[in-house]
Amino acid sequence: AQTVTQSQPEMSVQEAETVTLSCTYDTSESDYYLFWYKQPPSRQMILVIRQEAYKQQNATENRFSVNFQKAAKSFSLKISDSQLGDAAMYFCAYRSGNTDKLIFGTGTRLQVFP
Q: Which of 59, 77, 93, 112 binds another protein (CB under 8 A)?
A: 93
Residue by residue, what is the 3-state secondary structure of the chain?
CCEEECCCCEEEEECCCCEEECCEEECCCCCEEEEEEEECCCCCCEEEEEEECCCCCCCEECCEEEEEECCCCEEEEEECCCCHHHCEEEEEEEEECCCCCEEECCCEEEEEEC
Q: Which of 11, 63, 64, 104 binds another protein (CB under 8 A)?
A: 104
Of the pair 56, 114, the CB lying nearest another protein is at 56
Residues found near another protein in the complex (CB under 8 A)? 4, 33, 35, 37, 43-47, 50, 52, 91, 93, 95, 97-107
